[in-house]
Structure 1
Amino acid sequence: MSILAYNGGAVVGMKGNGCVAIASDKRFGIQLQTIGLDFDKIFEVGPKIYMGIPGLATDTQTVNQRMKFRTNLYELKENRPVSPKVLSAMISNLLYEHRFGPYFVEPIVVGLDGNNEPYISTFDSIGCVSEPEDFVAAGTCDDQLFGMCEALWKPNMNPDELFEAVSQALVNACDRDAISGWGAKVYVIEKDKVTIRNLRTRMD
């Protein structure tokens, strides 16, 4: 089993029309043994910026803490909030700095920039960034997530359609993966609000 799959988990991000969504499962496990059902993999960086970090649970928490420190330092120094693109560059730098002893994580950044344009990006474990125009997926069931997202994503979805698409993609992908699932959390980010919903999934 890959070290990235040791604790299980999955995160997906998706673009809509003036909105963006990110969702993750809630399971925390050790290989096939489930330990907890409310493990956070999505973290708020700013009012309209979120970061999802699937992978090894200890590295998830470490990368989140280091990024909190770096974003606070950036905002103090620059006297302005961090943007999604700047956050992506900071994560890429952090991961590349540790390329000889990498963090076992595959972060995802979603958010709205200063013009309320949706932005998503994802990284490998040494910081190579990808900025697609439709969706991103990471975690143990990313193959299933890519298949579901290909089937459900369409351009210019409104917030309700986006929520439905990202929820169905995550729930159905997790149903086909033994080490992720046990509930899901979905964030839909719009220019004036963030909607957070908890989903029930199969509990077997």
Structure 2
Amino acid sequence: MKSSTCALAGENFAIVASDTRMSQMEINIITRDAEKVHVLNDSVILATSGFYGDVLQLKRVLQSRLHKYRFDYRTDMSCDLMAELLARNLYYRRFFPYYTGAILAGIDENGKGAVFSYDPIGCVERIAYAATGAAEPMMIPFFDCQVGHVTLADEAERPPLTLQRAISLMKDAFRTAAEREISTGDKIHLVIAEAGKPIQQVHLPLRED
């Protein structure tokens, strides 16, 4: 089941986004309202692509662990601890891995934006931006240019990554992908975590054909 997700981390914010189309064999649209971005607590967001049954099972496992942690310690798990927990759960299933691409994002203990990217067996890396799913080959070069600046000429302007610019880049990335990748479309589900503020969720239109 094809899907597309991505995440960006800024100085004091993290943004996670996905499309809402779930398709099979490219031309068979199963639903136009699939939930691929999951808010785990007030500072941690999980984005998933891949087989939806494994996505739901992984979400249930993490929510169960978070509930137990909250019961034992009377506080929510931090983003860094959650990143370690997800890595261990994926590695535990390494001989029969979840068929999903996971991205964890949120606000760390220092109030900084964080994005953690995983492979199916739990290898984790903290990076500035990440993407998974069908549109990943188009989104990563776009973020390499606009966020990482690795493909810009030396004299090119490099504007800072503000929250508004990050939101605009997310919109551009999905609109570009929807034009070229048939399984990406319908709506953008945008989730914004900002230090000291509640998590915001926004739905924006994408092409529906």
The alignment's TM-score, normalised by the length of structure 2, stands at 0.89
Task: Report the equivalent of 2:72.
Answer: 77
The 2-side partners of 1:115 and 1:179 are apart by 38
2:91 is aligned to 96
Q: Is the 8 A contact 1:11 1:53 kept in 2?
A: yes
The equivalent of 1:202 in structure 2 is 207
- Aligned residue among 155, 162, 165 for 1:158: 162
Cα distance, 1:156 vs structure 2: 4.2
1:44-65 deviation digits (Å, cap 9, x = unpaired) = 1111211111111111111111
Distance 2:34 2:73 in 1: 33
* Deviant stretches of 4+, over 3 Å: none
Q: Does 1:141 align with 2:135?
A: yes
Distance 1:135 1:145 in 2: 10
Shift of 1:80: 2.3
Asked if 1:169 is matched to 2:164, the reply is no
In the alignment, residue 18 of structure 1 is paired with which amino acid?
A: N
Instruction: Give RMSD over aligned pairs.
Output: 1.5
Distance across 2 between alignment mates of 1:112 and 1:65: 22
Percent same amino acid at aligned positions?
20
Where 1:99 maps in the other structure, the secondary structure is coil
Of residues 2, 15, 20 in structure 2, which corresponds to 1:8? 2
What is the rounded CA distance, in whole Å, between the counterparts of 2:178 and 2:134 in structure 1?
9
* Matched letter for residue 193 of structure 1: P
CA contact (8 A) 2:107 2:113 kept: yes
Q: Report SS of the residue matched to 2:180.
A: coil
Structure 2 unaligned regions, length at least 5: 149-158
Q: Is the 8 A contact 2:10 2:112 kept in 1?
A: no
Q: Is the 1:9–1:181 Cα contact (8 Å) retained in structure 2?
A: no
Aligned partners of 1:149 and 1:166 also within 8 Å: no
Aligned length: 197
1:3 alignment partner in structure 2: none
Asked if the contact 1:148–1:173 (Cα under 8 Å) also holds between the matched residues in 2, the reply is no
Tell me the amino acid that sits aligned with residue 4 of structure 2.
A
Q: Which structure dedicates a bigger proportion of its chain to strand?
A: 2
